[in-house]
Structure 1
């Protein structure tokens, strides 16, 4: 598995999560089923971000740490959601804001680690 694949999938996931959450929340006051609008648009935005990462963005070495940091946010939020779903005693401790905070911390850590040693990210 290459860094390009990890960054592509993670960037698509993070974009999907952010666009879906923001659009669903913004439209919730006007549309009763705002998730039915937010989910498809989030999928399209995630696909566009993934394709852009694979085709254009990964070829710019200066952007690789940023792409991996953004990817880590999506992976961490997904991991927190998986723990909340699969481990019932953990549900009181894992909230949406806690998962987002955990994701942001993971993203910053991965960004700093990737920026410290950029030669390892050649593939």
Structure 2
């Protein structure tokens, strides 16, 4: 299985979400529209992380399980946001407090599976 594009896109997504959310929250007390700063910086950081994963980090087999775990975290958060948006009855259940633990569980499972079946990941 060629998981390189899956990992690169997922790491980019996770980095974008983490940097944008953190920077927006940190600047919220000082700047009224902190998302105007946080989103572009998150986009640049996510693109850099995705390119680094694609070009450099994937070549080392020891880094593949952590990269796939990181990617799974971003995909899980994106999936939770999609369910919250598309399924109105689920909006009361899906929140930051439930999406983050779900993402962590998905990341750990992906990491453990990638570590267990490292010979199948190219």
TM bin (shorter chain) = over 0.9
The equivalent of 1:90 in structure 2 is 90
Alpha-carbon distance in 2 for matches of 1:78, 1:117 = 25
Runs of 4+ in 1 over 3 A off after TM superposition: none
Number of aligned residues: 122
- TM-score normalised by L of structure 2: 0.98
Give the alignment's TM-score, normalised by structure 1.
0.97
CA distance, structure 2, for counterparts of residue 37 and residue 97 of structure 1: 25
1:25-69: CA deviation from partner (whole Å, max 9, x where unpaired) = 000011010000000000000000000000000000000000000
- Give the Cα–Cα distance (whole angstroms) in 2 for the partners of residues 32 and 96 of structure 1: 22
For 1:10, the equivalent position in structure 2 comes to 10
In structure 1, stretches of 5+ residues that fail to align are none
Matches within 5 A, 1:1-123: 2-122=2-122
Q: Which runs of 5 or more structure 2 residues have no equivalent in the other structure?
A: none
- What is the aligned-residue RMSD (CA, Å)? 0.9
